[in-house]
Amino acid sequence: MSVTIRLLLFVALVGIVSGKHEEYIGWKSYYVELKSQTQLKTLRTLTSKYEIDALVHPILDREGILIVKPEHQKAFEQEAKAEEIAYRIHVDDIKRHLDHDDRILQKHRRKSMNRSGGRRLPYDSYQEIEVINDYLDYIGETYPNVAKVVDAANSFEGRPIKYVKISTTNFEDESKPIIYIDGGMHGRERISPPPVTWAIHKLVENVTEKDLLERFDWILLPVANPDGYQFTFTTNRLWRKSCSNDQHLLSTVCLGVDLNRNFDFYWNTAGTSDSPCSDTYAGSKPFSEVEARVVRDILHENVHRMAMYVSFHSFGSMILYPWGSGHLPPNAVELREVATVIAEEINKHSIPDFPRYFVGNSALMIGNEVSGDAEDYAYNLGVPLAFTIKLPYPKVTSSLEGYLLDPMYIGQVCRETWEGLIVGARKAGDLFKDKNN
């Protein structure tokens, strides 16, 4: 199809689509269960053939949830049947469920704004970017001795990209290891900023683990992709990418770049797309996106004493480590050990609604190679421990209400994840000390 025709088609579509979530009418999501490596491979083929979107990545012995567009549902079902891949409907009308999510959010919004006076950050609902940024500024103003807010850059659409540096020694004690955590790299993964702001809360407002402040300096970036995050409130709830429009001729109609494919490490060689209309578009060049450059610059500035990098994503209850190619790096044993310590601690504090955490190499576990992601980039740069943590999605048996994680689970995710970070940081600190002595 020529570019012009595609453009015209797209404009025509946009013309029809107007109400909220209208673009998801007729979309379905499916539970999928995989029994073998062969099925894992087959699924990878189906995924690209039918433009399938994994809401929860299926792995061996753990059901996943796949989103399938109306035009591909029949073919997908037929082929899954032929390959003996077990599937059943999760949600038969995604639009209806997204509308329902909006109503839950609306209900909570009024309540929490009242209770908080719009000041502190509430955890009973997903917050828009201004609320999170206000909270970060409030932390910086209220606790200037430990917390410093950095306005790193403006996003493509001009929103501030803010992170917090937390230190009892003004970041001047070069012997302290640094822990760096980010979230919100993928817009729709709205559960990923709360554990980051919760970590700020636990390191500044309610310190119960003093050693974590004494031993470490912290860098916390709750929303790495403010444009994409806010776009999920205003325009498209399932938006994943940034919102740039300068990458490609088609970028004015198909916005954005997958930030977690935009890093300069085997850039655009696996698990990516050259089409700006794809959810995994890698961009016109490595670090084309200012949002990815902010993460890069934090890593470069601090790598000499960075003990651990954690990037929150969703969903899947998994802790993943390099490489995205499926090869295991030199300290794979250590990576696995620390990931396991974190996973076991989270499991200990989790609830029956959530599956237990699994730990593994990112490509081997999911059956998908990726390139140009932040975790690999950080590790290659020299951060000894780099993890992607995919936060939990409730099991089938739960009284699931919200499609994209009912807000009632936010507090639980924050608390259990923090327990994992406590032990993970301590372990990372011990390993870092051993290595540097």
Ligand X SMILES: *[C@@H]1O[C@H](CO)[C@@H](O)[C@H](O)[C@H]1NC(C)=O
Q: Footprint of Zn ion on this chain (CB under 5 A)?
A: 186, 189, 313
- Cα 325–chain centre separation: 19
Q: Which one, of 281, 293, 286, lies nearest residue 250 by Cα?
A: 281
We find the least distance from the C-beta atom of residue 12 to ligand X, in angstroms, to be 44
Q: Which two tokens stand for residue 156?
A: 């493509």
Q: Which one, of 180, 166, 148, 428, lies nearest residue 302 by Cα?
A: 180
CB closer to ligand X out of 2 and 206: 206
Q: Which two tokens stand for residue 250?
A: 């088609």
Q: Distance (Å, rounded) from C-alpha 140 to C-alpha 149?
A: 6
Q: Report whether 219 contacts 179 (CB < 8 A).
A: yes
Instruction: Identify the residue among 4, 18, 208, 437 touching ligand X (CB under 6 A).
Output: 208
CB closer to ligand X out of 70 and 118: 118
The option from Zn ion, ligand X, none interacting with 114 (CB < 5 to 8 A, set by class) reads: ligand X
CB closer to ligand X out of 179 and 414: 414
* Amino acid at position 174, single letter: E
- Report if residue 145 touches ligand X, rule: CB under 6 A: no
Q: Distance (Å, rounded) from C-alpha 280 to C-alpha 284?
A: 12
The option from ligand X, Zn ion, none interacting with 208 (CB < 5 to 8 A, set by class) reads: ligand X
The option from Zn ion, ligand X, none interacting with 206 (CB < 5 to 8 A, set by class) reads: ligand X
Cα dist. 205→127, 161, 201, 313, 415 in Å? Answer: 19, 22, 5, 25, 15
CB closer to Zn ion out of 97 and 313: 313
We find the least distance from the C-beta atom of residue 117 to ligand X, in angstroms, to be 9
CB closer to ligand X out of 118 and 144: 118
CB closer to Zn ion out of 101 and 373: 373
We find the least distance from the C-beta atom of residue 345 to ligand X, in angstroms, to be 14
The option from Zn ion, ligand X, none interacting with 4 (CB < 5 to 8 A, set by class) reads: none
Near ligand X in 261-280, by CB under 6 A: none
- Report if residue 114 touches ligand X, rule: CB under 6 A: yes
- Report if residue 206 touches ligand X, rule: CB under 6 A: yes
We find the least distance from the C-beta atom of residue 415 to ligand X, in angstroms, to be 7
We find the least distance from the C-beta atom of residue 59 to ligand X, in angstroms, to be 32
Q: Is the peptide bond before 323 cis (omega within 30 degrees of 0)?
A: yes
CB closer to Zn ion out of 122 and 194: 194
Pairing of the two strands 160-166 and 147-154: antiparallel
Q: Report whether 28 contacts 72 (CB < 8 A).
A: no
We find the least distance from the C-beta atom of residue 260 to Zn ion, in angstroms, to be 6
The option from Zn ion, ligand X, none interacting with 186 (CB < 5 to 8 A, set by class) reads: Zn ion
The option from Zn ion, ligand X, none interacting with 28 (CB < 5 to 8 A, set by class) reads: none
We find the least distance from the C-beta atom of residue 212 to ligand X, in angstroms, to be 13
Q: Report whether 352 contacts 416 (CB < 8 A).
A: no
**Which segments of 245-361 are extended strands (E)?**
306-314, 318-321, 358-361
The option from Zn ion, ligand X, none interacting with 313 (CB < 5 to 8 A, set by class) reads: Zn ion
We find the least distance from the C-beta atom of residue 239 to Zn ion, in angstroms, to be 12
We find the least distance from the C-beta atom of residue 314 to Zn ion, in angstroms, to be 7
Q: Report whether 285 contacts 238 (CB < 8 A).
A: no
Element (DSSP H or E) covering residue 109: helix 94-116
CB closer to Zn ion out of 215 and 296: 296
CB closer to Zn ion out of 42 and 272: 272
How many residues in the shown chain lie near ligand X by CB under 6 A?
3
- Report if residue 170 touches ligand X, rule: CB under 6 A: no
β-sheet with 28-33: strand ranges across? 53-56, 64-68, 28-33, 86-91
CB closer to ligand X out of 376 and 416: 416
Q: Distance (Å, rounded) from C-alpha 153 to C-alpha 227?
A: 13
We find the least distance from the C-beta atom of residue 143 to ligand X, in angstroms, to be 15
Give the helix ranges, DSSP H, for 180-331: 193-200, 210-215, 226-234, 290-302
Give the helix ranges, DSSP H, for 175-325: 193-200, 210-215, 226-234, 290-302
Per CB under 6 A, residues contacting ligand X are 114, 206, 208
